[in-house]
Amino acid sequence: MKKLTVILLTIVVALALTLTGCQKGSKTIKIGVGGAHTGDLASYGLPTVNAVQLVAEEINANGGIDGKMIEVVVEDDQCKPEIATNTASKLVGEGVVAVIGHICSGATKAALGIYKDSDILTVSPSATNPDLCDGTYPNFFRTIASDSAQAETEVAFMKTMGLKKVAVLHDKGDYGKGFAELVQANAPAAGIEVVLFEGITPGGVDYSAIINKVANSGAEALVWGGYHPEASKLVTQMKNKGMSIPFLSDDGVKDQTFIDVAGEFAEGVYATGPIDTSTNALYKKAAADHLAKYGEEPGAFFYNAYAAMLAVCNAIDKADSTEYAAMRDALTSNYVDTTLGSISFDNSGEAIGVGFVVYQVKNGKYVEVK
Amino acid sequence: MKPILDVKDMSMVFGGLRAVDKVNIHIDKGEIVALIGPNGAGKTTFFNCITGVYTPTEGEILISRSDNSGDQKKINGLKPNVINNMGLARTFQNIRLFSSMTVLENVMIGRHHALKSSILGSIFRVKSTREEEERLIHESYGILKKIGLEKFVNEQAQNLPYGAQRRLEIARAMATDPFLLLLDEPAAGMNPQETRELVDTINFIRDEENITILLIEHDMSLVMTLSERIYVVDYGQLIAEGAPEEIKANPDVIKAYLGE
Amino acid sequence: MEYFIQLFMSGTVKGSIYALIALGYAMVYGIIQLINFAHGEIYMIGAFTALIIGATMASAGVPTGLVLVVALISAMVWAAAYGVTLEKIAYKPLRNSPRLSALISAIGMSIFLQNYVLLAQTSNFVPYPNWVPQFAFLEDIKGILNSNQFFILLTTAVVMVLFTLMIRYTKMGKAMRATAQDKAMAQLVGINVNQVISVTFVLGSVTAALGGVLICSYMGQINYYIGFIAGIKAFVAAVLGGIGSIPGAVLGSFVLGWTESLGAGYLSSDYEDAFAFVILIIILLVRPSGLLGKKEIKKV
Amino acid sequence: MHNIDWKKELKQSTLAALWFIFLTFPLMVMKVAIIQGQATITWRWYNVPVVAVTFFILSFVWRYMLERRNFTQKKESKDILGKLLAQPKYSRPAIIALAVFLLAFPFAFSMYQTNVMISVLIYIILGLGLNIVVGYGGLLHLGYAAFYAMGAYSYGLFFTYMGPKFIEWGINTGLMFWIAIPAAAILSLVFGFIVCLPVIRLRGDYLAIVTLAFGEITRMFLQNEGQITLGPSGVSQIPRPWLLGMKITPVFAAKYVYFIALVLVIISIKVVKNLEDSKIGRAWEAMRDDDIAAQSMGIDLTRAKLASFAVGALWAGFAGVLLAAKTTFINPESFTLWESIIILCVVVLGGMGSIPGVIVGSVLMIMLPEYFRSFAEYRMLIFGLALVLMMIFRQGGIIPRKRKQHTFEVEGEGAVK
């Protein structure tokens, strides 16, 4: 037992010494990546890691920023708020100057509680919740347009389709319900009546009751706020019931997996998604680099993350500093060429130069609706 | 003088089976009464009805702590703990001790009703609670001493010899301060020596502690030496009542035991 | 009125789906008083196996009808194998342990099997082919009842009838009833209790696999997580009907299906699951042993 | 354990290996992938020998372990460490070392480590609370996360609705934490009492499913009633606890919340210990051992159950407020059925009814996944398997329950031990 006590004390002392000894005087610029890297949402988080690493490697190969190398620190948050605070504190403890992430809006909010008070610049490639840019988090930026922009695009499109009555369903989640509520709020101004607004439970075994309800409501179209698995269940069941009203959705559905899963039933589905920049030179380069390194096409939010990383590195370069205020200043006052085109950020944190357009599934591919 | 336990036309029906059928029993203060009958005659069901484990389908059960006619109370359908608090305590045919507890703790559970401390008092372990706990332990030890189990006080209940376990059940029941003690086959599984000690214990409880006793028993010699009155049930019905000698000679009883 | 019929039919279909899964819960509970938390995973594994075998055959150019039959059979075979293995490994060593230990073991198995499929296959949603034949006579009323729904109803009805007959008239059925009532007694009169338990797991797994294939065909997709929510719902249905009772499980499933559909249709689908849970609580308050559950008599 | 029949053993292991090859064939050897909307199969034959060898060996180990379990079950386990620690000579330095370690922790380790430790402490409180219901009361509770949510939302919503007022009045919003701590505990207690009242007469599994239902209904309410609860987007910007009006940085907050949590844990342990040794604790013990005998000895089961539910819920209230203060953000997703199951696993894995067990259970459940991130993919797989194996081979949990037993020394005055 005495031994045990001694061992315990030694461990404490040793850990205390090592941990206090290694912080200061690092010659690298550390940039953190937070997001879901394991679990069922990993497919949304991992592409960001790849994007950040590709950019870092390229910059380091060219001599770094003002001679300083970039070091990427990757931490998983599983999209869970309570884990995200641990992740954030780990990144802060590592001494990162900026974070690319997080992926989910909920986890991002939880992590921002720590980044904000630690003065760490945070650029998310995917968190679209409008609240994030309402001024409460001055350190927050994103390279994706907010859900309000997305909902506005959707409603404007519904107006051009000549719809008068729509049903709005959502998955009761942060993202899905948020989008659905914004559509509901914008619809009256466009002369559209929302005749049904309800949430459904993801993972259910049968949605025929709610589809009957939609059919019965006299809606001329169904708007879905949520992700693709439920969307494909809904379109499949609608078509099997002989319903043919248009199905409109968000960028959670603008994903090739949706078309793979829903198959023939996906034809004709509308979904909003970020403006297509695939003709952009940097975009092509990023895609080629990814294919060369990982042997496959990049996944969700890859280009947004690539752009975010480019913007952050550019800001450090322009500011000649890793001080928060200087970096923030550089970020909001300069345009930078990215995979998403030439972008800058406004004072609330939204990217200028990114936006949404409407796509439609035609012959098993999403095609922009002009 | 009113009986302290008065059961009137009590029946207990399970589905179609009449386990207890219009039974009338009364017990006076200070008696030792036995309830006998062949296996499956409904004796334990009768106990369960009186102690509140079952709610009898028909009839009335009245108790009174003293023999004044004034304070007779109907206890049909009350919960077992309420009935216990009113002064009826029991033992079980198949011993139901709290096996993970010590002998002392088993008796302490029996004293549960006598404790006044509140949850808050327990949480903060205030002085009055501590004193009460101390007192409780001494009281419980006292009860064990009376029943002659003090040498086992710190043993785990399940490690006791069989006879001692039965006696511990009696001690635990006595700890609840009853005026009527219902013993369900107290001598089952005991050797002759243990049985003799049991007789002394039961007499002691009646004489010194002033507790009336109703017991179910198969050991006829014990029943005949101990009890003053005997009730005999068969197929749920009361078939005979009387002093031991009368019962011994009753042809219905002999028939019930020996069969046709 | 037509709206009501639509909702009622969709509730009936939903009820049939729950019933196919709930049966396994009820049977296992009846025999060994264990909430088999991993039952939903057996359902998922059955459906996955059918997809894999079916996809292999379809790419080899086997005709659709044959694909359906072979895929279904292999789903049932492997689900049964998983069910029996599950029982042998995770439940049998705990047969004389406190109930909570067996329940935690079941939860552990549920987590294990989900992640096993996740790692061995994929975390993504996979499209599920619709193998169910499309009936021409339903074309006009497909707004109320389409071919997949019809096929699910039909299967559930057939399974119910077969089960009732089996339990009532076969030797195994009698042995199962005896074991459910008193395991020690059944053993004494010469019933091989281990065998009865294995058969129970086989039957429960087979119906779950059947349900898995039909439901995935109907919904058009599958992933490793589908068993969890379906399993919880079926479990609620089984409890609602009186856990351990097979007719109770079926009745409970339909009550649940109707409540959810009518609740979603006339009130709000926001609280679709809450309606199910509220009905459950109300029924249990009135009948603490479920709709058809036997009232237990305390043995003293 | 003697005379191993090698021929038989070999045969059994071979059979097991063959069986598992068959069993895992479709899922392990074949893999479905979607290419261009078409399901295709890739064959992974290399998995066959892997499965065969693995299960051939595991089969041996399994049978050996099962036999050993049956063999040793009867004997008392040799708890050397426990016996050593029972002596004051050894226990005192151990306790001092532990105290030093715990006090020095946030200063010796990074903010990240401290935050992880806060999670552990929160789960200890949750575990102790649920332990009252499951371990002492013997009632299977699958909706404990609802009470956790109750605590977190009491603080969160209190801030949402009253925060602006506090700012208007010029009062530091951090003070709300100190109001929320007792308020949330009382609210959870009352909520626990109300929920319990109608369902108390249900037994065993029926009780489990109804508590599950209550948990889910609570979460749905939080999700759907956005006007009241802010819906799925949750409550953000929850203030950190007040300390003399200081501006609290995250690094400092982590240390500060750590110590608040630590104090709460110590209080919880003390209170739970006191409860265990008291009248109500003995009543729970008796109820769990034999409810009919307990009732016949005058114990009011309804009251005992109500007490265990309500007191159990109280700790969830504390834990909830701590969670809100730690993350500064809460949403309904943190209070799912899974959360209830995880807390249940903490209790059962650690050892039902055992306070040190709950502590070790929380440490394992939270720290292992956190530190074994490199095994991320296999983490849940191993976790599931560990639950099964624990139940089979160490049923009482890691530190089985060892209740303080009341004894009586006859010598002298009869000192109470």
We report the CATH number of the domain holding residue D257 as 1.10.3470
Closest-CA residue in chain A for D255?
A89
Cα gap B116→D36, rounded to integer Å:
76
Closest-CA residue in chain D for A12?
D101
Does D105 reside within a domain? no
Residue D297: which of B100, B112, B125 has the nearest Cβ?
A: B112
Is residue D29 less than 8 Å (CB to CB) from chain C? no
Which residues of chain D does A112 touch, with a Cβ-Cβ cutoff of 8 Å? Answer: 236
- The minimum CA-CA distance between C115 and chain A, rounded to whole Å, is 10
Mutate to test the interface with A, among C12, C152, C269 (most CBs of A within 10 A): C269
Q: What is the mean pLDDT of chain B?
A: 85
Which residues of chain D from 151 to 190 reach within 8 Å of chain C, CB to CB? none
Does D401 reside within a domain? no
Give the count of beta carbons closer than 10 Å to the beta carbon of residue B209: 14
Which residues of chain C does D200 touch, with a Cβ-Cβ cutoff of 8 Å? Answer: none
Cα gap D319→D342, rounded to integer Å:
14
| Domain match, D374 and D312 both | yes
Which residues of chain A does D115 touch, with a Cβ-Cβ cutoff of 8 Å? Answer: 85-86, 89-90
Residue C198 pLDDT level (bands cut at 50, 70, 90): very high
Which residues of chain C does D62 touch, with a Cβ-Cβ cutoff of 8 Å? Answer: 89
Across the interface, do A81 and D331 touch by the CB < 8 Å criterion?
Answer: yes
Across the interface, do A113 and D119 touch by the CB < 8 Å criterion?
Answer: no
> What is the three-state SS of chain D?
CCCCCHHHHHHHHHHHHHHHHHHHHHHHHEEEEEECCEEEEEECCCHHHHHHHHHHHHHHHHHHHHHHHHHHCCCCCCCHHHHHHHCHHHHHHHHHHHHHHHHHHHHHCCHHHHHHHHHHHHHHHHHHHHHHHHHHCCCCCCCHHHHHHHHHHHHHHHHHHHHHHHHHHCCCCCHHHHHHHHHHHHHHHHHHHHHHHHHCCCCHHHHHHHHHHHHHHHHHHHHHCHHHHCHHHCECCCCCCCCCCCCCCHHHHHHHHHHHHHHHHHHHHHHHHHHHCCHHHHHHHHHHHCHHHHHHCCCCHHHHHHHHHHHHHHHHHHHHHHHHHHHCCECHHHHCHHHHHHHHHHHHHHCCCCHHHHHHHHHHHHHHHHHCHHHHHHHHHHHHHHHHHHHHHCCCCCCCCCCCCCCECCCCCCCEC
Residue C80 has pLDDT above 90, yes or no: yes
Across the interface, do A206 and C17 touch by the CB < 8 Å criterion?
Answer: yes
Topology of the domain covering C2-133+145-286: ABC transporter involved in vitamin B12 uptake, BtuC (1.10.3470)
Mutate to test the interface with D, among B109, B149, B184 (most CBs of D within 10 A): B109
Which residues of chain A does D84 touch, with a Cβ-Cβ cutoff of 8 Å? Answer: 1
CA–CA distances in Å: residue D403 to residues A23, B77, D274, D417:
47, 35, 12, 13
Which residues of chain B does D286 touch, with a Cβ-Cβ cutoff of 8 Å? Answer: 98, 101, 109
| Domain match, D13 and D155 both | no
- The minimum CA-CA distance between C257 and chain B, rounded to whole Å, is 33
Residue C112 has pLDDT above 70, yes or no: yes
pLDDT 10s per residue in chain D (417 long)?
Answer: 456 788 888 888 899 999 999 999 888 888 887 766 677 788 888 989 999 999 999 988 888 888 887 766 544 455 556 666 666 677 778 788 888 888 878 887 777 888 888 889 999 999 999 999 988 888 888 889 999 999 999 998 988 888 788 888 877 777 888 888 899 999 999 988 888 887 777 877 788 888 888 898 898 888 888 788 888 888 888 888 877 766 667 777 888 889 999 999 999 999 988 888 888 888 888 888 888 888 888 888 888 888 898 889 999 999 999 999 888 888 888 898 888 988 988 888 888 888 888 888 888 888 777 776 666 678 778 888 888 988 888 877 777 777 666 777 665 444 444
Chains touching A, CB cut-off 8 Å, 3+ pairs:
C, D
Residue with tokens 């910007």: D237
Domains in chain D: how many in total?
2
pLDDT digits (tens, 9 = 90+) for B63-102: 887 656 567 788 888 888 888 888 889 998 888 888 888 8
Residue B130 has pLDDT above 90, yes or no: no
Across the interface, do D292 and B96 touch by the CB < 8 Å criterion?
Answer: yes
Across the interface, do B14 and C300 touch by the CB < 8 Å criterion?
Answer: no
pLDDT digits (tens, 9 = 90+) for C242-266: 877 888 899 999 999 999 999 988 8
Assess whether chains B and A touch, using the rule of 3 or more C-beta pairs within 8 angstroms: no
Residue B112: which of D279, D307, D410 has the nearest Cβ?
A: D279
| Domain match, D123 and D50 both | no
pLDDT in the model for residue C252? 92
Q: Which residues of chain A, if any, have pLDDT below 70?
A: 1-26, 39-40
Mutate to test the interface with C, among D31, D50, D58, D388 (most CBs of C within 10 A): D388
Which residues of chain C does D354 touch, with a Cβ-Cβ cutoff of 8 Å? Answer: none
Give the count of beta carbons closer than 10 Å to the beta carbon of residue B1: 8
Across the interface, do D289 and B119 touch by the CB < 8 Å criterion?
Answer: no
How large is the average pLDDT for residues C115-128? 86
Cα gap C164→A77, rounded to integer Å:
50
Residue C281: which of D203, D210, D292 has the nearest Cβ?
A: D210
| Domain match, D214 and D306 both | yes
| Domain match, D55 and D145 both | no
The structural domains of chain A, ordered by start, are: 5-144+278-354 (3.40.50.2300), 148-250 (3.40.50.2300)
Residue B39 pLDDT level (bands cut at 50, 70, 90): confident
Across the interface, do D387 and C99 touch by the CB < 8 Å criterion?
Answer: no
Closest CA to D16 of D54, D71, D66: D54
Chains touching B, CB cut-off 8 Å, 3+ pairs:
C, D
Residue B92: which of C297, C298, C300 has the nearest Cβ?
A: C300
Does D97 reside within a domain? no
Across the interface, do D294 and B109 touch by the CB < 8 Å criterion?
Answer: yes
Cα gap C278→C240, rounded to integer Å:
11
pLDDT in the model for residue D163? 78
Size of interface C-D (CB pairs under 8 A): 176
The structural domains of chain B, ordered by start, are: 5-98+161-258 (3.40.50.300)
Across the interface, do A5 and D94 touch by the CB < 8 Å criterion?
Answer: yes
Contact (CB, 8 A) for D240 and D257: yes
Is residue B92 less than 8 Å (CB to CB) from chain C? yes
Is residue C3 less than 8 Å (CB to CB) from chain A? yes
Across the interface, do D297 and B84 touch by the CB < 8 Å criterion?
Answer: yes
Residue C295 pLDDT level (bands cut at 50, 70, 90): low
Assess whether chains B and C touch, using the rule of 3 or more C-beta pairs within 8 angstroms: yes
- The minimum CA-CA distance between B98 and chain D, rounded to whole Å, is 6
Contact (CB, 8 A) for A197 and A225: no
| Domain match, D127 and D29 both | no
Closest-CA residue in chain A for C13?
A206
Which residues of chain A from 247 to 286 reach within 8 Å of chain D, CB to CB? 259-261, 263
Q: What is the mean pLDDT of chain C?
A: 87
- The minimum CA-CA distance between C20 and chain B, rounded to whole Å, is 32
Across the interface, do C297 and B53 touch by the CB < 8 Å criterion?
Answer: no
Across the interface, do D345 and C104 touch by the CB < 8 Å criterion?
Answer: yes
Across the interface, do D94 and A1 touch by the CB < 8 Å criterion?
Answer: yes
pLDDT in the model for residue A95? 86
This prediction has a pTM of 0.87
Does D255 reside within a domain? yes
Residue D361: domain span: 110-393
Closest-CA residue in chain D for C287?
D202
pLDDT in the model for residue D417? 42
Burial (CB count <10 Å: 0-12, 13-18, 19+), residue B65: middle
| Domain match, D154 and D248 both | yes
Which residues of chain D does B141 touch, with a Cβ-Cβ cutoff of 8 Å? Answer: 408, 414
- The minimum CA-CA distance between A199 and chain D, rounded to whole Å, is 8
Residue environment code for B119-133, b if the CB has 16+ CB neighbours within 10 A, otherwise e: eebbbebeeebeebb
ipTM of this complex: 0.84
- The minimum CA-CA distance between D213 and chain B, rounded to whole Å, is 29
Across the interface, do C277 and D345 touch by the CB < 8 Å criterion?
Answer: no
Domain-wise residue ranges, chain C: 2-133+145-286
| Domain match, D123 and D236 both | yes
DSSP state of A134: S
Across the interface, do A232 and C221 touch by the CB < 8 Å criterion?
Answer: yes
Q: What are phi and psi of B252, to 5 degrees?
A: -65, -40
